[in-house]
Chains A and B, each alone.
Chain A
Amino acid sequence: MIRKRWIGSLAALGVVVGISAGSASAADACSAPKLDTGDTAWMLTSTALVLMMTVPGLALFYGGLVRSKNVLSTLMHSFFCAGLISVTWVLFGYSLAFGPDKGGGLIGSLQFAGLKGILGTANPLAPTIPAMLFVAYQATFAIITPALISGTFAERMRFPAFALFMLLWSTLIYTPLCHWVWGGGWIATRVGALDFAGGTVVHISSGISALVTALYLGKRFGHGHEPMPPHNLPFTVIGASLLWVGWFGFNAGSALGSNELASTAFVNTNTAAAAAGLGWLFAEWRRAGRPTLLGAASGAVAGLVGITPAAGFVTPLAAIIIGVIAGVVCYWACSLVKPRFGYDDALDVVGVHMVGGTIGALLTGVFATAAVNAAIPALTVTNLTGGLLYGHPALLGKQLVAVVATYVFCGLGTLVLLVTVNAVCKLRASQEEEIVGMDLSQHSERAYELGLGESLAFLRVREPRSASVPPVLGGRFTVAMENVEPAKISDHWRNLCQDHGVPPTPEFKLVYSQFAVLRGARFRFRGGDREEIRRSLERLFKNASPMARAVIENEDAAYEVQAWGPERSTLLPA
Chain B
Amino acid sequence: MKLIIAIIRVEKLEAVQQALADSDVYLMTVSDVRGCGRQRGFTEVYRAQQHVVRLLPKLKLEIAVNDAFVEPAIEAIVRAARTGETGATGDGKIFVLPMDDCIQIRTGETGNVAIGP
Interface residues of A (CB under 8 A from B): 227, 229-230, 284, 287-288, 290, 292, 294-295, 298, 331, 334-336, 339, 348, 450-452, 455-456, 458-462, 464-471, 473, 476, 497, 499, 504, 508-509, 512-513, 515-517, 524, 526, 560, 563-565, 569, 572
Contacts and interface: CB of A to CB of B under 8 A. Distances in A.
B47 A348 contact: yes
Contacts of B87: 497, 512
Q: Interface residues of B: mostly helix, strand, loop or mixed? A: mixed
B71 interface: yes
B85 A504 contact: yes
A223 to B, nearest CB: 11
A389 to B, nearest CB: 32
A288 B51 contact: no
Nearest to B18: A460
B17 A459 contact: yes
25 contacts: A227-B44, A288-B48, A331-B48, A334-B47, A335-B48, A335-B49, A336-B48, A348-B47, A452-B32, A458-B14, A459-B21, A461-B21, A461-B26, A466-B117, A467-B113, A468-B66, A470-B68, A471-B24, A473-B75, A476-B75, A499-B89, A517-B74, A524-B71, A560-B67, A560-B68
Contacts of B47: 294-295, 298, 334-335, 348
B88 interface: yes
B72 interface: yes
A57 B18 CA distance: 42
Contacts of B68: 468-470, 560
Interface in B69-109: 69-72, 74-75, 78-79, 85-89, 96, 98
Contacts of A462: 21, 24
Contacts of B72: 470-471, 473
A51 B2 CA distance: 60
A335 B47 CA distance: 6
Contacts of A513: 85
A284 B47 CA distance: 8
A349 B49 CA distance: 16
A500 to B, nearest CB: 10
Contacts of A230: 46
Interface string B13-47: 11001100111101000101000000000001111
A460 B78 contact: no
A471 B75 CA distance: 13
A17 to B, nearest CB: 41
A76 B71 CA distance: 53
A453 to B, nearest CB: 11
Interface residues of B, number: 45
B112 interface: yes
B5 interface: no
Given A455-B14, A508-B86, A564-B71, 11 more contacts: A290-B45, A331-B48, A334-B48, A456-B30, A459-B21, A459-B26, A467-B115, A469-B68, A563-B70, A569-B98, A572-B96
Contacts of A229: 44, 46, 51
Nearest to A458: B14
Given A460-B21, A462-B24, A564-B2, A467 B74 contact: no
Nearest to B85: A509
A516 B71 contact: yes
Contacts of B26: 459, 461
A290 to B, nearest CB: 6
A508 B44 CA distance: 36
Contacts of A508: 86
Nearest to B64: A467
Contact of A512 (B44, B53, B86): B86
A68 to B, nearest CB: 13
Nearest to A513: B85
B43 to A, nearest CB: 9
B44 A516 contact: no
Contacts of B86: 497, 499, 504, 508-509, 512
Task: List 4 tightest A-B contacts by C-beta distance, closest first.
Answer: A335-B48, A227-B51, A470-B68, A516-B75
B77 to A, nearest CB: 9
Given A298-B47, A497-B87, A512-B86, A473 B23 contact: yes
Contacts of B51: 227, 229
A290 B47 CA distance: 11
A230 B49 CA distance: 11
Given A467-B112, A470-B69, A512 B85 contact: yes
A468 B112 CA distance: 7
B23 to A, nearest CB: 6
A508 B86 CA distance: 8
A524 B75 CA distance: 9
Nearest to B116: A467
Given A455-B13, A499-B86, A504-B85, A471 B30 contact: no
Nearest to A292: B45
Nearest to B94: A517
A565 B47 CA distance: 57
Contacts of A456: 17, 30
